[in-house]
Amino acid sequence: EGDRGCGPCSLGQGTDGRCSTRHAEPEVAVARAESRLTELDSIAGDGDLGLSMARGAAAIRALPETAWATPAIALTQMSSVLSRAIAGSSGPFYATALLRAARNLPDDPVADDWAAAFAAAVSSIGELGGAKPGDRTMLDALLPAAHTLASGLAGGTAPREAWAHAVQAARVGAAATARMHPRLGRAAYLGERVLGMPDAGAEAVVIWLAAIEVA
């Protein structure tokens, strides 16, 4: 039987197997980063990502206990509330990704199941938005994280260690966006003016991934 660690819910799973609502580190971390995300998004976007992500975090915290019955149910409920709470393109991206992950996750997932669901979620964002690696988007953090997690687990790395490596891969990917010329969205019209600062969406990914690591 596989290891049941390594996942947004399983890292904070209660002894009864339910996704615990007591571990709110990702939501807290995102809310605390509101000003930083707003600053970054003001450079190349509408400047509303910080507030939108904070609203999304609040919406997740407000979910009832029944929303956490199983990992798949929790992801589906998060998808629903984030589609309404997060403005702009990020809302549909997160909602679609979470729903895709839920559809690829069994009720009692092991680490490899989480990795597969994570990869499916990341792929759905590229399908929806048309972004590719190097386009200076959230995918530049998500894709290396998903790849690192899957390859680490496949190579026998313990789930928590594999997740830590995935977070570091996301951090490196997000930092690299500071050197990328944007090709999509409003930022594409700004050209070199956005160079030197990381993409806000990619930075947001690092924040919540890192918070899951310590949850």
Residue with the bigger pLDDT between 24 and 33: it is: 33
Least confident of 11-15, 60-64, 72-76: 11-15
Q: Which of 194, 175, 173 lies closest to 185, judged by CA?
A: 194
Which CATH number covers residue 50? 1.25.40.340
Q: Mapped to the 3 state alphabet, what secondary structure does 22-83 carry?
A: CCCHHHHHHHHCHHHHHHHHHHHCCCCHHHHHHHHHHHHHCCCHHHHCCHHHHHHHHHHHHH
On whether residue 5 sits in a domain, the answer given is: no
Neighbours of 189 (CB within 10 A): 10
Cβ pair 32, 139 in contact under 8 A: no
Residue 178 belongs to a domain: yes
d(CA 181, CA 16) in angstroms, rounded, equals 48
> Do the domain assignments include residue 3?
no
Interatomic CA distance for residues 44 and 204, integer angstroms: 14
Assess whether pLDDT exceeds 90 at residue 141.
yes
Most distant CA atoms of the chain, gap in Å: 52
pLDDT score recorded for residue 190? 54
Q: What is the reported pLDDT for 6?
A: 56
The answer to whether residue 28 is domain-embedded is yes
Share of the chain above pLDDT 90, in %: 67
Q: What are the tens digits of pLDDT across the range 67-77? A: 999 999 999 99
CB 115 within 8 A of CB 153: yes
49 in Cβ contact with 40 (< 8 Å): yes
The pTM score is: 0.86
Ranges assigned E (strand) in the chain: none
Specify the pLDDT at position 21.
38
Residue 86 belongs to a domain: yes
Question: Domain span at residue 145?
Answer: 10-214
Which of the four pLDDT bands, split at 50, 70 and 90, describes residue 54? very high
Domain assignment present for residue 90? The answer is yes
